[in-house]
Amino acid sequence: MDENKRGWLWVYRKARSYHVTGLQAFYRATRFWITGDTGSFPTHGGFRKSRIRR
């Protein structure tokens, strides 16, 4: 995978598109940048759980 394609900003925007707060998207993007995994987090108003991995 191209690092530029799936970097911090990509994950931040993806998390925001899942209707989470800016703070939570920031945390998930930072966690992804460090570990390569966001972990499970509630999305879409709490109706779904999502996880973004490398």
Q: How far is residue 49 from each of residues 4, 41, 46, measured CA to CA in Å?
A: 25, 5, 7
Res 6: pLDDT: 87
Q: Where are the domains of the chain?
A: 8-50
The pTM assigned to this predicted structure is 0.85
Radius of gyration of the chain (CA): 10
Task: Report pLDDT for 5.
Answer: 79
Do 53 and 40 touch, CB atoms closer than 8 A? no
pLDDT at res. 3: 56
Backbone angles phi, psi at 37, to 5 degrees: -150, 135
- Are β-strands 41-43 and 48-50 bridged in parallel, bridged antiparallel, or unpaired? antiparallel
Percentage of the chain modeled with pLDDT above 90: 85
Query: How large is the average pLDDT for residues 31-46?
Result: 96
